[in-house]
Each structure stands twice: as C-alpha cells, then as structure tokens.
Amino acid sequence: MIKCNKGLTLVELIVSLAILGIIMTPLASFFINTIRINKNSENRLEANQIAQRYMEEAKFGKTLYSQGKIKEGTINKTDKEFKIKIEIEKHSKYEIDKDMKSEENQDTLITDHAQIEIDKQENIQSDTIIFKATDVGNKSENISDDGRVTIDIKKILNNKITIDFNEKYTKTVTNIDLKKDDINIKINCNGNRSPINLEVSTLNDVKTNIYVVKSETSKNKIKLNTLKGKVRLYNNIYDNTVSKKEDSWIYKITVNISKNDKELAKLVGYKNID
C-alpha cells in the first residue's frame, strides 16, 4: 500500500495568508470605524444630556445671578472630559435706541417714514393716538372702543408713497427708494389701552416694518392684522432712553459642549426675567 502524506506547500501557505489578509483588512477597518462611530454617538448623547442640564440650571437656577444681579458674559466649566461654555446676553431684538438702529446691523440707522404716538389719558379708559407729521400736521383722536387703528399704504411712484391713517389722515413720503428700501413705521407707546388692533394694507413687493417702541410704564399691546402685503411687527422694543429695570429683560442663553476641541452639542434658549 502506498501512503500519501500530502501537505501545504510554501506557495499555498503564502497565497492563503494573502487571501486572509485581503479579507481581514476591510473587516478590521469596519470594526474600528464601528467602534469610533459608537463612541462618537455616545459622546454626542452625553454632551446633549449635559447641555440640557446646564440649560435648565441657567434658566431656572442661579447661573444668571451674581450677588443678586444679572450676570452677563461667558461662563466656562468642565464636566468629566467635556468643556462647557455658557454665554448669557440681552436679546438684541428687544431693545432699540431712539434713532432706531436695525436689528441686523446696529451701526445702520433706520429711517422711519411715519410715526404714531399713543398717550395715556388720565381717568379715561381710551388712549389718544397721534398721527405725526401728516400732510395737515399732527392729528389726534381717541382710540375706538374696539381698539382698531388702520394703516393703508399706496405706491404713487418708485420714490413716493402715501400712508393713510384711520381712513382720514394722509402722510405723503417722497424720500424713499422702493427698489431697495423697506417702509418703516414707528409707534411710540406710553398708554395703558390693550390690545390695540392694527390693520395694515401695504405693498406686495416691498416689506413694511412696524417698530413698537414702549416706555417702561406702557401697557399697550399691539396686535397685527395684515390685510394686504408683507408686514413684520417688532412688538417688544424699548427705547434706550427709558430707565428700564435690569431684571425685566429677555436674555439669550447659549450652551456649547465640546470635547477635544470638537463641538458636540449646542443649545440656545431664552429667559424672560420679570
């Protein structure tokens, strides 16, 4: 009987190892990437939980206060291997100076094309509304029982519009370029009547901005009903000449969580401190 003791040759062994290497390399890379992705997901999940916790602390705890006063600026902390940055600032949308600087660019002055003033009347429920600088001068009347005030804007030319108030008084505006300018109306509130129902008809192709500027004691609340056109209402603006208490501002709170200089979570919240 002839016995056959056949085994692997050196060439077969090398080929087998090469094939095994070709198979194992992508598998190893897959497992490494899976571990990395899982670890990154765990870090992001933990970072979001930390961000939620610090946001809650900032909004309902004592983070905003230092010796009984509002603390603005940046607060840096560490939690395990995470870096926490908390930024606290007054929300710029809720303040404007008396020259009406824009929300987007505080160095650019806004030209108001018409002004309305609301003044409180002593011992009278209704406030007086004053339409400033109409074609026949300042005109005032008591606000109606339903609180209705109308504004109707019409285009005459590309650089000329008319603004009708309460279907009675007209202001003609000629210093405007409707191809690039918005229409801006400023309402100064010093009264108590609320709500005031503002009904606006304006141009379809030009945005109209209405800035409601309140005094510290004003209780006026403006409700907008847009009958025609594009209108944006800025309803909580305070003139910086008004002595407004520090603890009644809207504050913007931003919480950033990072690890190894990589941002993993970011939360933005707002707190109204009365």
For residue range 153-187, what is the model confidence (pLDDT) as tens digits? 999 988 999 999 999 999 999 988 898 889 999 99
CA–CA gap between residue 158 and residue 173 (Å, rounded): 11
Mean pLDDT of the chain: 79
Mean pLDDT of 96-109: 44
> What is the predicted pLDDT for the residue at 155?
93
Angle at the Cα of 115 from the Cα atoms of 110 and 119, rounded to 5 degrees: 130
> What is the predicted pLDDT for the residue at 107?
40
CA–CA gap between residue 163 and residue 180 (Å, rounded): 18
CA–CA gap between residue 87 and residue 256 (Å, rounded): 8
CB 236 within 8 A of CB 93: yes
Task: Out of 8-12, 92-96, 111-115, pick the least confident.
Answer: 92-96
* 212 strand-pairing partners: 187
Residue 78 predicted with pLDDT over 70: yes
CA–CA gap between residue 143 and residue 120 (Å, rounded): 10
Range picked from 63-77, 148-162, 235-249 for highest mean pLDDT:
148-162
CA–CA gap between residue 128 and residue 149 (Å, rounded): 11
Domain definitions of the chain by residue range: 12-90+251-272, 92-246
